[in-house]
């Protein structure tokens, strides 16, 4: 029984992109936050010119799964957030003092 | 008693049609950010003077856009279209709006964010937003 899913619309894809970037902001850990951002942007760019409907549908559902993973992880990580911020987040600190 | 009257005088809303129409405008789906809404809201707000000046909004919006890696800073002007003039695509558009959200500590709903596709619209939206910081 083959179910042919319809390709997601442009606005659905952009909405998924935005949701992933928003979820990235929920991470208190700088490294994970930046990774989610980078990976999201890279993946969407890579798949930007997909033509086959089945590939588009597969990429879109993969994106949605990843969004769920990221959302769950942001909750888990927030339970064990370290109290010390990464050095990249310390504003105004300039090298040596 | 006099205190109550004095407080009520300050809080009492203008009974004009324009005000009641704009104050009923709570839903984001209306999308009408016209100056009337912005100015009525601002005059009733208890925040007073801590709303951003137009110049500050313009400066900060332009600097956010100029610091976007794919953008040529010299081509960023007050009314430049992200996709048509700066050669960006829709993904970049989303990224830029997110960067603006972070700069001004706002949360822009998707419906409104999709409409922001030029510096002019970005400046207008942020300037009229009561919570821009």
Overall average pLDDT of the B95-116 stretch: 93
**A14, A25, A48 ranked by CB distance to B94: nearest:** A14
Nearest chain A residue to B96 by CA distance is: A18
B113:A10 CB<8 A: no
DSSP string across chain A: ----PPPPPHHHHHHHHHHHHHHHHT-SSHHHHHHHHHHHHHHHHHTTT---HHHHHHHHHHHHHHHHHHHHHHHHHHHT--SSPPGGG-TT--S--
Measured between beta carbons, the chain B residues lying within 8 angstroms of A48 are: 89, 91
Point out the least confidently predicted range of A2-6, A32-36, B67-71: A2-6
Nearest chain B residue to A14 by CA distance is: B91
* B90 reaches A (C-beta below 8 A): yes
CA distance A80 to chain B (A): 24
Q: A21 pLDDT exceeds 90?
A: yes
What is the maximum span of chain B, computed from C-alpha positions, in angstroms? 64
| Domain limits, chain A | 9-79
Residues B20-30, buried b or exposed e (16+ Cβ, 10 A)?
eebeebeeeee
Hey, what are B109's tokens? Answer: 């709903």
Q: B2 pLDDT exceeds 80?
A: no
Q: Mutation test of the interface with chain B: which of A8, A15, A18, choosing the one with the most B Cβ atoms within 10 A?
A: A18
* CA nearest to B100, candidates B73, B70, B127: B127
* CA nearest to B122, candidates B81, B92, B89, B88: B81
* Confidence band, pLDDT 50/70/90 cuts, at residue A65: very high
* CA nearest to B113, candidates A39, B105, B121, B55: B121
* CA nearest to A40, candidates A69, A63, A59: A63
B95:A41 CB<8 A: yes
Model ipTM?
0.82
Q: B37 pLDDT exceeds 60?
A: no
Hey, what are A46's tokens? Answer: 């890579």
- The residue from B79, B89, B110, B114 that is catalytic is B89
Phi and psi of A79, rounded to 5°?
-75, -25
Measured between beta carbons, the chain B residues lying within 8 angstroms of A36 are: none
Phi and psi of B81, rounded to 5°?
-90, 130
């Amino acid at each position: 029984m083959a179910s042919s899913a319809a390709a997601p619309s442009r606005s659905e894809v952009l909405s998924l992109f935005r949701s992933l970037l928003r979820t990235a902001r929920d991470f208190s850990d700088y490294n994970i936050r930046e990774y989610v951002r980078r990976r999201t942007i890279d993946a969407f760019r890579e798949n930007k010119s997909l033509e086959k409907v089945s590939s588009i549908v597969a990429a879109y559902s993969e994106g949605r799964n990843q969004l769920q993973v990221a959302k769950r992880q942001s909750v888990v990580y927030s339970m064990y957030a370290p109290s010390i911020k990464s050095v990249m987040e310390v504003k105004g600190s300039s090298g040596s003092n | 008693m006099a205190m109550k009257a004095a407080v009520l005088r300050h809080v009492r809303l203008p009974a004009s049609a324009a005000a009641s129409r704009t104050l009923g405008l709570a839903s984001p789906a209306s999308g009408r950010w016209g100056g009337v809404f912005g100015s009525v809201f601002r005059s009733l707000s208890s925040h007073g003077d801590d709303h951003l000046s137009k110049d500050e909004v313009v400066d900060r919006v332009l600097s956010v856009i100029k610091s976007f890696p794919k953008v040529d800073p010299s081509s960023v002007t007050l009314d430049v279209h992200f996709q048509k003039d700066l050669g960006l695509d829709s993904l970049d558009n989303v990224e830029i709006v997110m960067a603006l959200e972070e700069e001004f500590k706002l949360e822009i709903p998707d419906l409104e964010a999709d409409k922001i596709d030029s510096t002019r619209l970005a400046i207008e939206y942020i300037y009229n937003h009561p919570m821009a910081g």
